[in-house]
Structure 1
Amino acid sequence: MADEVAILTARAIQAEAEIATLEAEIAQLQDPARLLANGIVSPQLEVLRTENAKLKFQATHLERNIAREQARTPDYMVSINQIVTDMFTLAIGQAYPDLDDIPVLIQKGKFADYQCNSAMSICQKLKAQGVKASPQQIGNAIKDQIPQVDFFEKLEVAGPGFINVYLSKSYIAQQVNNLLRDGVRPPRVMARRRVVIDFSSPNIAKEMHVGHLRSTIIGESISRLLEWVGHDVLRLNHLGDWGTQFGMLIAHLKDKFPNYLTVSPPISDLQAFYKESKVLFDSDEEFKKRAYSAVVKLQSRDPDHMKAWNLICDVSRNEFKKVYDRLGVTIVERGESFYQDLMQDVVRDLDDKGLTEMDDGRKIMFVEGQKVPLTLVKSDGGFTYDTSDMAAVRHRLHAEKGDWLIYVVDAGQGTHFDLFFAAAQKAGYYNPNLKRVEHVAFGVVLGEDKKKFKTRSGDTVRLVDLLDEGIARTQQKLIEKGRDKELTAEELRLAQEAVAYGCIKYADLSHNRCNDYVFSFDKMLDDRGNTAAYLLYAYTRIRSIARAAKVTPEQLKMTIAKEGVSLEDEKELKLAKCILRLSEVILKCLDDLLLHSLCDYLYELSTTFTEFYDKCYCIEKDRDTGVIVKVNMSRILLCEATANVIAACFHILGITPVQKM
């Protein structure tokens, strides 16, 4: 509640000033000569006294609220950026009450902790009203409305009205101690929302390839972020598990394994099985007829064909699960087949609302502002992806009670999402002012030649092959560093997996997802620079400091309770401030769902820690004997706070840290 307490404190200070002014006026009015001179009679004086008593009561009530809130342990991490924003919002409103829509521009300062840059905007608004005031005057007017509070060391007006904000060292230390005592907590979000997120979405009978990599990694990380801050998240895997291709697969299954109803067919390579059926479908007219017949029977839910379909789907599910398990991905399957019966309902609903029309045998729906219409029913009576997506968005909003729908799909599908989002709004399925429905787009994965990532033979890279190569290259790196001689076999295996999978994920997430990115094992496995390898090594090193100092968890808890951190050196203070920026970074990621901001912060935190550790000795040893002669517990606590924040970031990014590397 620290941000609310800050606002309450400011208002209480202003109330006390108002009371003091009123009391001074009453004291003057109580002088008989002044009463007569001003024509004030006793009833009017009683009214003033009554109002004064009310103000005093309100001030006392505010003070009690503040004391109560300060005594509570908040269940979230304070966002200092938000506190600063709230304070300046209040101050600007009091300095310029007659101005509307004043932007409160708070950013990280170059020479201070934060900077308010609203003066120029206010200057322009006043100028439009014929009021002359310099940005410096405006900056000072705003500054004068900021009360004395414990979290600001000082405020300075500089340049064209910029207000530099310097945070109090004692306040920073207090917040770091709170983090150590209560653990790393998410920032406060305004309301818990039901989020439905659609990601990964491979096709049955086809292997997951590098094209599925970004959707899977980005979708999993966004899900973790939303769950961490307290949202109710449903992760959906919109599998391609329906359509004409299943006719040829079932026909081939019946030919190759005629006893499939009683004996599970030993399909070891479903991709090869799919290719065989496709060759037959393209070259054998009799087989093609049987394939089309199988589609019709499948769509009519014939039991034998449903069993064949389930057998094929199960083989794919098992292969997908192996990849998801390796990447630590949790997802609920809900493929296109789930929405088949719902598509008739959605078409009927759109018909009833008068939103459909016929066009050359097709049933379509036009949406204002869109170049092409939705095709809901083809001329042969079949449904389309448009129909499936309209049924899915309707179900996710209504049956699943989704407040926030997220589709993690490549940027090439942007036009399609614009179309059916607009159609869903026109149909009345959601109001964009009440529900958040968005396409989280991403670019493609490129090879080091800056062309679409493929194998040397030109084939699409299988995801399982990519993961295997990551493991092999990581093992080679660890052996080169002699880790095979320092770690047990199990520790080496855990380190291999942590680095390999962590590097693949981080290489993706650390780039702006809207852009294409170049996939390079050499770069992502480099333990220097902004890579998961560097961050994992940094985390392991930080965790080892307390062990090297022979400080137990119990000793850490006692130090937190009794003393906490003291920020004497400038590098200690810089590190503490960086630690506390986590909440504002998380809030930004929640707003734009761009996770590279979290990666940038994580790298900044690690490099800031290195600056601190190089200058500030945590452990002092006798140069001759190597015996520890002094342990700086305050600095050990800063190490722990840093490691705890890194671990929280790793969790969101899906990176698994290890204690030894």
Structure 2
Amino acid sequence: MLKQVDGLATRLEEVINRPRFKELSHLFEEHSKLTYQKEQLEKAIDNMQKTLMSHQVSILNALIATFDLATKKAFPQLTSVSTVVTPSSHPNFGDYQCNNGLSLARQLSANGTKISPVDVATKICDHLVKGSLVEKVDIAGRGFINIFISRNFVEEEVTKIVRLGFSLPPPQRCLKCIVDMSSPNIAKEMHVGHLRSTIIGESVSRLLKFMGHDVLKLNHLGDWGTQFGMLIAHLKDTFEDLGDRPLPITDLQKFYQEAKVRFDKDEDFKRRSYDAVVKLQSYDPEHIKNWEKICDVSKLEFDDIYRRLDIKNLVPRGESFYQSRMIGLVEYLDERGLLEFDDGRKIMWASGSSVPLTIVKSDGGFTYDTSDLTAVRQRVVEEGGERIIYVVDSGQSLHLQNIFSAAQASGLADPARTKLEHIPFGVVLGEDKKKFKTRSGETVKLIDLLNEGVDRVKKKLAEKGRDKELTPEEQWIAAEAIAYGCIKYADLSHNRINDYVFSFDKMLDDKGNTAAYLLYAYTRIQSIVRNTGWSKEKLAEVHETAHINLEHPKELKLGKMLCRLPEVLIKLEEDLFFNKLCDYLYELSGVFTEFYDSCYCIERENGEVVKIHESRILLCEATAAIMKTCFDILGIRTVEKM
């Protein structure tokens, strides 16, 4: 029996070792892998379909993917293809154009295949899978492919906006984004110079959050330095021991100016101010308590402005926060041999810079270079920042370039994991094209600017008789929304790189590319929907049952315009030029006006409603939803009545 078992085992081993059996085993293994991959692919497709059913599609990205696949099928011999699809400049040329014909013809000819751009375009179209997106294509000129989007596809996308609201698919990877913005100085009032960083930084944060990223907004306050010794000394001379009571000061700017006058004229006061700085930097409890009282007064003033501008969750993270971390930074750089001695200083050279960074001064103190590098380190190591954005004026470009270069060279920020970005902007000018000042030549206080804006809007509303149509509460809500919205929009609608002229008259004009005009257009759309007389229940029923029919050319044009927002936002996420979003919003408003002038939404006879076009009312609702999305990203409040 044992011999038979041994014999069978030997024969089994011989069978297993035969080439055919090994090949079969390999095929079973490959089949198992392919089955797993098929299951994963089916899951991915199912998830993608669910995503597309509940989110808006970027038509531009979908077309690029579609034409990229068609090109690779048409010309498999090409190893690298860069598919170019752009919105058409004229409706006669379709909605989009694929402009690869000429470049691919040259590429193929260089590889020995002579072919005309038109033949290239024809071959691409032969391999094109149109799906539900593309209605038709035609070829024009030297191989330009004109692409016409399917009306049915547009109707489905607009229906999604009405029923589900506007949203984009979640990003492939959620990034930890840190936005450094606003950054006023403690004990000084916020002025017009802080306006752009605050407004642009807020819109950057809102956009990135909307796109599905984790956003931390940091306010890099100027809350440390020699001036605080002067303020603490003046505080101690002015008030008796306050204990735990708050600082009884309403005008901190005046308090600062008083201290500065004494510092410049009184040698004894100057000496005591320097002593106070030393004690503050040694973390003496009494001096820290007085410093905190000064900071608290300033922060209350800042918070009032941030509240007015709808800026929330802005984390104060001043110079003081980084003081205890600076010694660790110096040790880190020293250990890597990156510091040099120069006339008693410790300096570091950034790549390509002719001026070194001063890390430690000759007296042992630290500098802005030290604190900025320490901030980078903290944001990468402690916060896990992957995209760190500095919304700082153009004058700091060279400084930040050196900081970024030093951070990358020293290993503080690995470019493969962390992107450091400077979002520069120009200055605010007065109507005389010089730096914006008051008539007396002083810097314009931000609080005064906001107050003047509200006063001007209230006056305009009264001139137009709106004070008789709106309740006092509605007037105040409208005045704040319009004033602050106009100030923000005037900034964001300009290319941020350039200086821009601040003019209340222009920004409050209700004609042209202004927030006043756009907010009015938005409220007009809301009033159209209200004029149906539908209850909330009726409106919800129409949302779920009515079919959006874009039969009229102006309806279809508006529907296609609504579908363009995803590609605008995807591009905006890359370059953060918000004037492009403002341009889209203004163009959308114009296209809506064309639609409204050509297509009755509500038909009346003798003042009585005789017909309500449900599809057009829903198109109005979709337009309002898209405008609201744009306003939200720009940080502009909407109102129901104006």
TM over 0.5: yes
d(CA) in 1 for partners of 2:48, 2:232: 66
- With over 3 angstroms needed to count, the CA separation of the structure-2 counterparts of 1:94 and 1:283, relative to structure 1, is same
d(CA) in 2 for partners of 1:84, 1:241: 51
1:481 to 461, 464, 471: 464
In the other structure, the counterpart of 1:96 is 75
CA contact (8 A) 2:376 2:413 kept: no
Deviation of 1:105 after TM superposition, in Å, equals: 1.0
d(CA) in 1 for partners of 2:106, 2:232: 71
- With over 3 angstroms needed to count, the CA separation of the structure-2 counterparts of 1:286 and 1:355, relative to structure 1, is same
Deviation of 1:472 after TM superposition, in Å, equals: 0.7
- In the TM superposition, what are the counterparts of 1:634-645 in structure 2 within 5 Å? 634-645=615-626
- Classify the secondary structure of the residue corresponding to 2:97: strand
d(CA) in 1 for partners of 2:596, 2:638: 21
d(CA) in 2 for partners of 1:253, 1:74: 63
d(CA) in 2 for partners of 1:485, 1:450: 38
Asked if 1:286 is matched to 2:265, the reply is: no
In the other structure, the counterpart of 2:408 is 425
- Classify the secondary structure of the residue corresponding to 2:369: helix
In the other structure, the counterpart of 1:79 is 58
In the other structure, the counterpart of 1:186 is 168
In the other structure, the counterpart of 2:141 is 159
CA contact (8 A) 1:187 1:586 kept: no
1:454 to 433, 437, 461: 437
- With over 3 angstroms needed to count, the CA separation of the structure-2 counterparts of 1:225 and 1:95, relative to structure 1, is same
Asked if 1:254 is matched to 2:236, the reply is: yes
- Classify the secondary structure of the residue corresponding to 1:166: strand
Asked if 1:206 is matched to 2:185, the reply is: no
Deviation of 1:63 after TM superposition, in Å, equals: 8.6
Deviation of 1:228 after TM superposition, in Å, equals: 1.3
Deviation of 1:267 after TM superposition, in Å, equals: 1.4
In the other structure, the counterpart of 1:615 is 598
RMSD (Å), alpha carbons: 2.3
Asked if 1:544 is matched to 2:544, the reply is: no
In the other structure, the counterpart of 1:574 is 557
- In the TM superposition, what are the counterparts of 1:269-418 in structure 2 within 5 Å? 269-330=251-312, 331-418=314-401
d(CA) in 1 for partners of 2:555, 2:638: 25
Asked if 1:502 is matched to 2:485, the reply is: yes
Higher mean C-alpha displacement, 153-162 vs 131-140:
131-140
d(CA) in 2 for partners of 1:268, 1:60: 68
Higher mean C-alpha displacement, 65-74 vs 165-174:
65-74
1:631 to 612, 627, 635: 612
Stretches of structure 2 that go unaligned for 5 or more consecutive residues are: 1-29
d(CA) in 2 for partners of 1:334, 1:65: 42
CA contact (8 A) 1:184 1:644 kept: yes
- Classify the secondary structure of the residue corresponding to 2:581: helix
Deviations 1:612-660 (Å, cap 9, x if unpaired)? 00000000000xx210000000000000000011111111111111111
- Letter in structure 2 aligned against 1:657: T
d(CA) in 2 for partners of 1:388, 1:93: 51
Query: Between the two proteins, what is the percent identity of the paired residues?
Result: 57
Deviation of 1:561 after TM superposition, in Å, equals: 2.5
In the other structure, the counterpart of 2:636 is 655
Deviations 1:18-55 (Å, cap 9, x if unpaired)? xxxxxxxxxxxxxxxxxxxxxxxxxxxxxxxxx99x99
- Letter in structure 2 aligned against 1:79: S
Could you state the TM-score of these two structures normalised by the residue count of structure 2? 0.92
- With over 3 angstroms needed to count, the CA separation of the structure-2 counterparts of 1:436 and 1:105, relative to structure 1, is same
Higher mean C-alpha displacement, 505-514 vs 137-146:
137-146
Deviations 1:560-579 (Å, cap 9, x if unpaired)? 32232001100000000001
CA contact (8 A) 2:209 2:215 kept: yes
d(CA) in 2 for partners of 1:524, 1:79: 32
In the other structure, the counterpart of 1:525 is 508
d(CA) in 1 for partners of 2:58, 2:150: 15
CA contact (8 A) 1:103 1:121 kept: no
CA contact (8 A) 1:219 1:408 kept: yes
Deviation of 1:80 after TM superposition, in Å, equals: 0.9
- With over 3 angstroms needed to count, the CA separation of the structure-2 counterparts of 1:398 and 1:62, relative to structure 1, is closer
Deviation of 1:372 after TM superposition, in Å, equals: 1.1
CA contact (8 A) 2:83 2:100 kept: yes
Asked if 1:109 is matched to 2:93, the reply is: no
CA contact (8 A) 1:546 1:552 kept: no
- Letter in structure 2 aligned against 1:648: T
In the other structure, the counterpart of 2:453 is 470
- With over 3 angstroms needed to count, the CA separation of the structure-2 counterparts of 1:434 and 1:94, relative to structure 1, is farther
In the other structure, the counterpart of 2:250 is 268
- Letter in structure 2 aligned against 1:438: E
d(CA) in 1 for partners of 2:85, 2:534: 40
- Classify the secondary structure of the residue corresponding to 2:413: coil
Deviations 1:76-110 (Å, cap 9, x if unpaired)? 32111110011011112222223233221111012
Deviations 1:231-267 (Å, cap 9, x if unpaired)? 1111000000000110111111111113233654421
Asked if 1:120 is matched to 2:102, the reply is: yes
d(CA) in 2 for partners of 1:344, 1:546: 62
- Classify the secondary structure of the residue corresponding to 2:137: strand
- With over 3 angstroms needed to count, the CA separation of the structure-2 counterparts of 1:61 and 1:362, relative to structure 1, is closer
- Letter in structure 2 aligned against 1:651: D
Asked if 1:557 is matched to 2:540, the reply is: yes
Deviation of 1:551 after TM superposition, in Å, equals: 2.3
Stretches of structure 1 that go unaligned for 5 or more consecutive residues are: 1-50
